[in-house]
Structure 1
Amino acid sequence: MNKNKIWILTVIIFLSAGYTGCSKSSGKNLNNTAVNVQVKEVTTLDGNEEIAYSGTIEESESTPLSFSGVGTVARVLVNEGDFVSKGQLLATLNEETYKNTYEMTLATLKQAEDAYKRLQPMYKNGNLPEVKLVEVETGLQQAKAAAAISKKSLDDCKLYSPVSGIVGKRSIEPGMTAMPNFSSITIVKIEKVFARVPIAENEIASVKKGDKAKIKIAALNNTEFNGTVEEIGILADPLAHTYKIKIGINNSNRQIKPGMICNVNLAKQNKSEGLFVPGNAVLVDEQGRNYVYAVSQNKTVKKYIKTGKLLKSGVEVTEGLNLGEQIVVAGLQKLVDNSLISIVNQ
């Protein structure tokens, strides 16, 4: 019985070894069948280059509006997306409390004015001490100030737009309690918009104000717009290590809306001394390392590389390749290291 077990175990080990050997051999293209591929040479980049980024559209101006006092919202006269003119009434608060307060201060003011008018002749005739007249005058001034304050509070129950623009956000509804410093309505201007784009810290030095850009917006059927770099941030995002730039875009017909995602190609004068390869030639292994298949005597050589900037024409290679080397750009699916290849199109 023990001999049978030993014999079975030996057979399993033998078969496993044979299967492993076959598996390893199958990955080396031992049947000598050449794989058809296309290749290109590693080159440098000369002249202007468009570098691809992603960004977000934002308004050129944003004006958040809030009521100056606390109160219950009575009416909201605009909706999001409405165009409003400077000075237009947007919303009102319930005025009852403020109106009563104003009427009370007016009554107090009238009383103070009457007292002053009655006592002033007595003071001139010497029948009233000066200190008493000063008290009356002080009371009159206090009443005037109180009336002015209550009138201002009553007027502040109406919210007017200080600028012309589009209602970008409406945060209040009738019946809600409005609070000071709580944005009730936001007015935005979108006749001109900005594409806000994060730029890596190792690339920000090459971006200049006035650089031209092409912006494509997927939400508008990939319509292309022209823009110009107008602002370059000086504070980096501490997590992403990027700087924000703003690219101005004319939007006179208001078809571009804040929040839209855009693809940006930024035209820059190339001064890089690095090498460039097509993006489809770069592969990634299980460890996340980038590599390409170079060509040597009609066979592939797997070469690990380090990459730099992602450009419209390809990827910058900072380490791992030499100028003029041939690399495989098509037919990569069937390749392994040391595969026999046939170049069908250069």
Structure 2
Amino acid sequence: MQKFSKSFLILFLLVGILSCKEEKTTVVPQPISVKTTTVSNFSNAENGMKYSGTISAEKLVNLTFQVAGTVETLPVNMGDFVTQNSLIGTVDVTAYESQYQARAAQAKLAKENYERIREVYEKGSIAEIRMIEAKSNYEQATAAANAVYQNVKHARLTAPFSGYVGNKMLEVGDVASPGRPVIQLMNIDVVKAVIPIPSEEINHYRVGDSANVTIDALENEMFQGVVKEVAVASNRMNPVYNVQISIENPERTIKPGMACTIQLQVLNEETTKPSMITVPLETVSVNEDGTNYVYIYNTEKNIAQRKKVTLGKLFNNRIEIVNGVSNKDKIITSGYHKLTDGTPVILAQ
């Protein structure tokens, strides 16, 4: 009986040990979806500096009447195309016509008086001074009449060049005055983009440089542009310099106000040496001790590898990598915030 109890106890302990032994399981981490870009040497043609800007008309004027008066006609609307010398509007000319008629009558009387005195002078009956005074009065009256007539002419507003009505500031019945805009007229056969350039980059560019201009609203269609103006003075509140890009627009598909991306060629040889490698600025991270690093996609192991990098010069939205990565490395550009060194990754479709 005692022997049976010992056997039972041993069997009980053996079953307990086997039941308590947990089966080891391996947890396989799920790969993180990422996007990559291949590191390559800096190229002016493909990786030129990019800036954001807005399109505006290269030729734009606010048209105003040169005389005051109530607007009588304004036969144009916003968006209309008008040709050179076509009528834009008129103001009430009644008062100016009355003034001109009065001045013209005085000029006519002065002329008749001058002609009579001249005939008498030629006969030797009056002094020369009388004839000179009459002539002077006639010339002054004529000049005054002509000056008033200019007010009559200026009561009509015409287009100084062909273009589109960009804005309409007055309507029929409003009171116009010199200097008060009536319409905004713009010629968009040639448009421009003005972009701000940081002080450390402005010396890279010259008038005549080529530029690639991509218009977002036109399905990212690219147009060729030329640097027309480079500012030599910065904004006092912000150390940036304006550069103006001129773009031919014969089809008039580019409209003022459209957003655009301008890619400019860098001229400074120091900043475009063949060995230069640049990466998107947002792909560079920094840890607690101030070390900069990026994540590289290991194509053989399908993992993310953290690589310490030394940074160089900043170029708008890109930054130079002095060492740490090499040509043809695949920099992870999306999903890197979720990574650690050795994290399994998969390329996003």
**Cα contact 2:295–2:336 (8 A) shared by 1:** no
Mapping for residues 148-187 of structure 1, pairs under 5 Å: 148-187=146-185
**Cα contact 2:60–2:187 (8 A) shared by 1:** yes
**Cα contact 1:84–1:161 (8 A) shared by 2:** yes
1:334 aligns with 2:331: no
Mapping for residues 103-182 of structure 1, pairs under 5 Å: 103-182=101-180
TM-score (norm 1): 0.73
Report the AA paired with residue 159 of structure 1: L
Identical counterparts, % of pairs: 28
**Cα contact 2:310–2:324 (8 A) shared by 1:** no
Question: What is the CA-CA distance between 1:238 and the residue it aligns to?
Answer: 2.6
Q: Where does residue 82 of structure 2 map in the other structure?
A: 84
Report the AA paired with residue 64 of structure 2: S
* Bigger shift: residues 55-64 or 323-332: 323-332
For residues 166-205 of structure 1, give each alpha carbon's deviation from its aligned partner in whole angstroms, at most 9, with x where no partner exists: 2223322222222223332332211121122222221122
Question: What is the CA-CA distance between 1:229 and the residue it aligns to?
Answer: 2.5
Note the aligned Cα RMSD (angstroms).
Answer: 3.7
Question: What is the CA-CA distance between 1:136 and the residue it aligns to?
Answer: 2.0
Q: Where does residue 314 of structure 2 map in the other structure?
A: 308
**Cα contact 1:87–1:161 (8 A) shared by 2:** yes
Question: What is the CA-CA distance between 1:279 and the residue it aligns to?
Answer: 4.7
Aligned CA distance change for structure 1 residues 268 and 157 (closer, same or farther; 3 Å): same
Q: Distance in 2 between matches of 1:237 and 1:198?
A: 10
- Which of 61, 64, 68 does residue 63 from structure 1 map onto? 61
Aligned CA distance change for structure 1 residues 46 and 168 (closer, same or farther; 3 Å): closer
**Cα contact 2:61–2:185 (8 A) shared by 1:** yes
Q: Where does residue 28 of structure 1 map in the other structure?
A: none
Q: Distance in 2 between matches of 1:59 and 1:158?
A: 25
**Cα contact 1:231–1:246 (8 A) shared by 2:** yes
Question: What is the CA-CA distance between 1:40 and the residue it aligns to?
Answer: 8.4
Q: Distance in 2 between matches of 1:278 and 1:112?
A: 82
Aligned CA distance change for structure 1 residues 139 and 46 (closer, same or farther; 3 Å): closer
Q: Where does residue 5 of structure 2 map in the other structure?
A: none
Question: What is the CA-CA distance between 1:105 and the residue it aligns to?
Answer: 0.7
Aligned CA distance change for structure 1 residues 213 and 284 (closer, same or farther; 3 Å): farther
Mapping for residues 1-346 of structure 1, pairs under 5 Å: 44-45=41-42, 48=45, 49-268=47-266, 271-272=272-273, 275-279=277-281, 281-283=283-285, 291-293=292-294, 300=306, 308-310=314-316, 315-317=318-320, 322-324=324-326, 329=332, 332-335=336-339, 341=343
Larger radius of gyration: 2
Aligned CA distance change for structure 1 residues 79 and 318 (closer, same or farther; 3 Å): same
Q: Distance in 2 between matches of 1:40 and 1:257?
A: 33
Question: What is the CA-CA distance between 1:76 and the residue it aligns to?
Answer: 1.0
Q: Distance in 2 between matches of 1:47 and 1:68?
A: 51
**Cα contact 2:189–2:248 (8 A) shared by 1:** yes
The unaligned stretches of length 5 or more in structure 1 are 1-30
Aligned CA distance change for structure 1 residues 175 and 292 (closer, same or farther; 3 Å): same
Question: What is the CA-CA distance between 1:115 and the residue it aligns to?
Answer: 1.8
Report the AA paired with residue 147 of structure 1: A
Q: Distance in 2 between matches of 1:290 and 1:158?
A: 71
**Cα contact 1:70–1:180 (8 A) shared by 2:** yes
Question: What is the CA-CA distance between 1:68 and the residue it aligns to?
Answer: 1.8
Question: What is the CA-CA distance between 1:135 and the residue it aligns to?
Answer: 2.6
Aligned CA distance change for structure 1 residues 124 and 300 (closer, same or farther; 3 Å): closer
**Cα contact 2:308–2:324 (8 A) shared by 1:** no
**Cα contact 1:35–1:340 (8 A) shared by 2:** no
Q: Distance in 2 between matches of 1:176 and 1:290?
A: 67
Q: Distance in 1 between matches of 2:220 and 2:40?
A: 31
Question: What is the CA-CA distance between 1:271 and the residue it aligns to?
Answer: 1.2
**Cα contact 1:72–1:177 (8 A) shared by 2:** yes
Report the AA paired with residue 332 of structure 1: Y
The unaligned stretches of length 5 or more in structure 2 are 1-25, 297-303
SS of 1:227 mapped into structure 2: strand
* Bigger shift: residues 276-285 or 153-162: 276-285
